[in-house]
Amino acid sequence: MEKSRIKFLLCIVAAITLASMSFKPAMAAMGNETDRLALLALKDELLGGSHGGPLLSWNASLHFCEWQGVGCGQQQQRVISLSLPGLKLGGIISPSIGNLSFLREANLFNNSLKGNIPREFGHLRQLRSLNLSRNNLQGNIPVELNNCSNLQFLNLSDNSFTGKIPFQLGDTMKNLIKLSLARNDFIGTIPSSLGNLSSLDYLQLGNNHLEGNIPISLGRLSNLKILVLSRNNLSGIIPPSFYNLSAMKDIRMSTNKLHGGLEPELGFAFPELEILHLGGNHLSGRIPVAVTNISSLKQFDIHSNGFSGLVPGDMGKFQNLELFSINYNELGNGEEGDLDFLSSLTNCSRLKLLAIHMNKLSGVLPDSMANLSTQLETLYIGGNQISGNIPEGIGNLVKLTQIHVGENLLTGEVPTSIGKLRNVGRFDLSLNRLSGEIPSCIGNLSLLSHLYLNGNSFEGRIPLTLEKCKSMQIMDLSTNKLSGGIPDQLVAGFERLVALNLSHNSFNGSFPSGVSNSKNLVELYADNNDFSGEIPERFGEISQLRILHMQGNYFHGSIPQSLASLRGLESLDLSSNNLSGTIPLELRNLPFLVSLNLSFNLLEGEVPEEGVFKNISQFSIVGNKDLCGGIPEIELPKCLNQAEKGKRNGLSTKSIIVIVVSLSLALASVAFISILCWRKRFGKKMIPLTLEPVNLMQVSYRELVQATNGFATSNIIGEGSFGSVYKGFLDQQENPVAIKVLNLQNLGAVKSFAVECKALRNVRHRNLVKLITCCSSIDYQGNDFKAIVLEFMTNGSLESWLHHEHDQDHSSHHLNFAQMLDIAIDVANALDYLHHRCQIPIVHRDLKPTNCLLDDDMVAHVGDFGIAKFLFDVASNLDNEQATSSIIKGTIGYLAPEYGMGGSTSPEGDIYSYGILVLEMITRKRPTDDMFNDEMSLHSYCKMALPEKLEEILDFRLLEQIKEKSQKIIGDQNIDCNMLDCLVSFTNVGVACSVEVPVERMKIEDAVNELHAIKARLHARNRIDPQQEIKELEV
């Protein structure tokens, strides 16, 4: 019985064993089929249903474990890895990937995948590595991904993911060793839970939009070796707990908003640190001397912060140093010892990049600089106050590719040893005090592409050896003392040339037509030289040319017709030459031409009316002879046809004299009789206007009533002390006009009318409001009526742009710095014209933002000459001197101090008002603001802020524009120091013009020159990019 039972049990065990043995293959086969189908579904989505491409092997002829990129386990033949990097796969990731339940590694790096991360990834509990970087994926990180608790490697960088980083990520993926979410669009703060990832040794969150403080909890990541948080919006200080991360080798936090200083512990906390990037923040204080203890350091970058004081002198302890970037700070004490650290750096034999430019470093450039590492490739020391000569030994640095020593105080000649630097591509010596000739050995630099020698005192000829520099793209030799002719062969070989600036020298002879070989030339400046001959016809072959400035030379002949073929031309200046003939009509067809200056030549004939010639603010033709036609605003006589010319030519000189004399006598008689009748009728004294005979249109009181809808209040666009200004439409004018109607009940209104009419009829300049006509009549009640009709300015006054931002017209925009600079130049040009270039000089006496009007193109026009004064005008002088005894004319705040003490009218009074106007633009504070009193004025307020504290007085919108520009152009700094430097110079102009003593004020012509120099520096910002090497390292 017992044996039978045993046999029975054995049979049951055998049956179960046989059943399980047959069940396992069945289950395996079922699992295999699940994986196969999941892969096929994945293929269909990746390739959009096609059966070709990189996944061609994924077909029934092969077992799926043999398909490209598929890895299977040895025992169960289940998919454990999927590796398809760099195959240019498109489409989306199929949710079926969640059915690969044994998957441990998924690598789809560097494809073109789009869509979201499927939530089904959360089913992959065995997943240890997920790499989806360098695709076009978007959306949020799915919450379900937190279920992948075994993940050790997660890389989602270089996509377009949005939303916040899941706050629980550090609590659910505690096995993570490497985490990269860089170069996406994540927002919010860094989750503090990341501090729980105790195994983490690599954390990359750079290039997102993260904000807030760096979590203190990150100080618990004791195994962390690499931390990249650069290019976010992080703020606050570097947390003290951060100094606990002793395993750190690579720290990158550049381009954030971090503030505070660097603690001395920095030199002891990271004994293995190799890379430290903190550039582009708001850090300040001194560089800790202890930092030199980090002997393993290879890259030290703190550019674009607020560090000050001396640079530690023992930087040579960095034996492995390759990159040293401290540019755009406030380093230096303005003393001789500022550059001592350079000698120490000669011990850094591996140094490749040295960038100390844009600081306050002073002293003589040491000869020891020639002993820097022979591995040095990039040298930037410009924008300081460094003096002395360029060391002869610079030729030892034979691997240099970029040299920027511009904007210093260097003197002497350029050493001939530079001829040894055959790898140099960018060479900048600009804005120093260098002299002598340009050395001929510069032709040895066969790779030279960017040459900046402008703003020095170089003399002599351009060396012919430069023709060997076939890679030349930008060459700026402007503002030197260079002379002689420019041989054709010198420039004929510059086929890659993009910009050539020869302006403000003494070059002579014909201009080389060989420059036409430079088919990529975009900008050509040859102005203010002694060139002669004709302008080359071959200029028309430079199809990419956008700017051509040849003014201030001795060119003669006609304007080449070929210029009309330059379809991309934006600015053409041929003024102040001896050009003759007619204006080529074809210039009107240039679609992008917005600035044309042909003034002060010998041109004649018809002025076109289309294209650039439609807008008087975009072209200038003054100072020519016998021009006719054009738009009405330029007030030229009509062009005569041949018959009319014949008739006029048929009259003898005697006949013409008889006719002119007869007409003059007749007109004088009529005028005399009219005046007698008028005075007899109204019994009023007439004010003699003594106006020049200018052809103004005639307009009656009735026409002005109709033009303004009966002087409706809805038409009022401004009000002043002498009356109201209306917007109106005259039948004779295509565009609206501004009609200034004087309130004759106000004392001085009649005289104001006479003065303003006289002033405006005697001046003509693109930056002065244009007079259309004056109307002196009687209204319907028989009362005197006087009005001045002016050109209408569509963008209102500068006052409205500065202080009326809530107005409907200006609610959505405000002035940027470039616009302010242009407006300041426009107003300064107007004053320069009034003071120095009128037949009778005029002092405006009421310059303020209200009287600076802006047209369609934001070009400024000075208006309101109601209290202007003609200098050297006897009648005007007497009247004005009598007036000053009883009343001070002008506007409080803008009125020059000497006027309040009985001083006589002078151009310096306008200059004072101009200086206040400039300061008002940058601070957006009126000179009569409540904060100003007897102890502090707008002038002293700005002067005290220069230069270090300028940011404290700038209007906040300017600061925002500076930061926005820096993020777009530089990328590695939150304050564009070049723009800030320009703002310092701009403020200096305002301060210099508004000093209390008249004779100490800046001359207006000097202000114009300085503003143009500031504008040139502002627009030349992209000339160098000293941080490019650093950017490439921050990936």
CA distances from residue 748 to 753, 842, 889, 893, 904 in whole angstroms, order as listed: 9, 19, 11, 22, 19
Rounded Cα distance, 889 and 887, in Å: 6
Please count the other Cβ atoms lying within 10 Å of the Cβ belonging to residue 95: 16
| CB contact set of 1028 (below 8 Å; sequence gap of 6+) | none
What are residue 153's DSSP bridge partners? 129, 178
Amino acid at the residue 351 = L
Helix (H) / strand (E) containing 548: strand 547-549
Q: Which two tokens stand for residue 433?
A: 């005090």
Helix (H) / strand (E) containing 267: helix 266-269
Q: What is the DSSP letter of 688?
A: P
CA distances from residue 958 to 127, 954, 1018 in whole angstroms, order as listed: 51, 7, 14
Evaluate whether 509 touches 529 at the Cβ level (below 8 Å): no
Rg (C-alpha) for the chain, rounded Å, is: 38
Please count the other Cβ atoms lying within 10 Å of the Cβ belonging to residue 62: 12
Rounded Cα distance, 257 and 253, in Å: 10
Please count the other Cβ atoms lying within 10 Å of the Cβ belonging to residue 394: 22
CA distances from residue 506 to 293, 577, 821 in whole angstroms, order as listed: 55, 15, 29
User: Is 399 marked as binding a ligand?
Assistant: no
Place of tokens 């050896």: 465
Q: Which two tokens stand for residue 676?
A: 């007698």
3-state secondary structure of 875: helix
3-state secondary structure of 183: coil
Amino acid at the residue 871 = L
Place of tokens 């040009």: 829
Rounded Cα distance, 6 and 218, in Å: 66
Which one is catalytic: 201, 527, 846, 972?
846
Among positive and negative, which fits the CA dihedral 792, 798, 803, 807? positive
Evaluate whether 367 touches 342 at the Cβ level (below 8 Å): no
Q: Which two tokens stand for residue 272?
A: 């293995």
Rounded Cα distance, 770 and 738, in Å: 10
Residue 985, burial from CB neighbour count under 10 angstroms (0-12, 13-18, 19+) = middle
Please count the other Cβ atoms lying within 10 Å of the Cβ belonging to residue 131: 20
Tell me if residue 981 is catalytic: no
Q: What is the residue-wise DSSP string for 941-982? A: HHHHHTTTTHHHHS-HHHHHHHHHHHHHHTSS-SS-HHHHHH
What spatial distance separates the first Cα and last Cα of the chain, rounded to whole Å? Answer: 81
Please choose, from the candidates 888, 504, 863, the residue with its C-alpha nearest in 3D space to the C-alpha of residue 717: 863
Q: What is the residue-wise DSSP string for 800-828? A: HHHH-TTSGGGTT----HHHHHHHHHHHH
Residue 626, burial from CB neighbour count under 10 angstroms (0-12, 13-18, 19+) = exposed
Rounded Cα distance, 241 and 976, in Å: 31
Rounded Cα distance, 515 and 534, in Å: 15
**Residues within the annotated binding site for ATP?**
740
Report, as residue numbers or ranges, the catalytic residues: 846
